Each structure stands twice: as C-alpha cells, then as structure tokens.
C-alpha cells in the first residue's frame, strides 16, 4: 500500500505467502492505528510476503492461543497488535488490530479475533 491508498490490503502473490485482512472492519482498525505503527504493520506484512512466514519469528510474531497469532508492532506512538490466523494456500488473514495499552493482551481482543476467525472457515 502506498500513502495515497486508504486500505491496508496487500495484493496477492502467486508464489509465496500472502497477507490479507478479513474485512472492512479490520481495514478500519488498521487505518485507525497511529501512522508509524501502521507503517510497521505494512513493513512486517511485506517482509512476510518476501521471505515467508516460516522465516519470521519473535519479536515480530508470537503465538497467542489455539489458531491465533499476533504481529507485534511498535513505534514512537506506542505498541499495537494485529491478530491473525493462517489458512491453506499460505494465507495470513488479519482478523483484529488494536493499540495495546496493557502488558497482557485483553481477553476482549482475543474474543473478537476468535469470533472473526470462525467467519473464515
């Protein structure tokens, strides 16, 4: 995505991993992130597509629970998380994004992500 685009969807590549958002609600959550954190999201998504999810580890991504994983994003304006699931076809589907305000990921964020992840199946 370049600065002029309003949604963070990253176009599909045919030969490797793709990163996509579940729907417009997730697009809006990413768009609402502070500019520097949104840029960190885009850089990490591009890196996943360039080198593959299997070559990215902590501190950039971390397993949360069950099928939920998080992209760990930080910038001058704080920290945020983009929770995602993986799907067949080397797809990373971001299901929730939020600015993190506490040490532990809020239960409500996990519940939103889990509910949205079920929409994919």
Residues 6+ apart with CB under 8 A from 75: 34, 36, 37, 39, 40
The percentage of the chain sitting over the pLDDT mark of 70, rounded to a whole number, equals 87
pLDDT confidence tier of residue 66, bands split at 50, 70 and 90: very high
Percent of the chain surpassing pLDDT 90: 83
Q: Which pLDDT score, from 0 to 100, does residue 9 have?
A: 52
Q: Is residue 69 part of a domain?
A: yes
Global pTM reads 0.86
Q: Is residue 60 part of a domain?
A: yes
- Give the side-chain half-sphere CA count within 13 A for 2: 1
Q: Answer yes or no: is 51 within a domain.
A: yes
DSSP, collapsed to helix, strand or coil, labels residue 96 as: strand
Residue 75 domain flag: yes
Is residue 3 pLDDT above 50, yes or no?
A: no
For residue 104, tell me if it sits in a domain.
yes
Does residue 58 sit within a domain? Answer: yes
The CATH number of whichever domain residue 71 belongs to comes to 3.30.2310.20
Q: Give the number of domains in the chain.
A: 1
Half-sphere exposure of 72 (CA within 13 A, CB side): 12
């Amino acid at each position: 995505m370049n600065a002029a685009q309003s949604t963070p969807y990253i176009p599909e590549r045919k030969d490797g991993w793709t990163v996509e958002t579940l729907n417009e609600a997730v697009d809006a959550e990413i768009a609402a992130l502070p500019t520097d954190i949104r840029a960190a999201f885009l850089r990490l998504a591009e890196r996943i597509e360039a080198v593959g999810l299997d070559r990215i580890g902590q501190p950039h991504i971390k397993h949360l629970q069950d099928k939920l994983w998080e992209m760990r994003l930080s910038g001058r304006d704080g920290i945020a998380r983009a929770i995602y699931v993986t799907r067949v076809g080397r797809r990373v589907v971001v299901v929730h994004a939020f600015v993190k305000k506490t040490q532990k990921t809020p239960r409500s964020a996990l519940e939103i992500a889990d509910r949205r992840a079920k929409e994919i199946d």
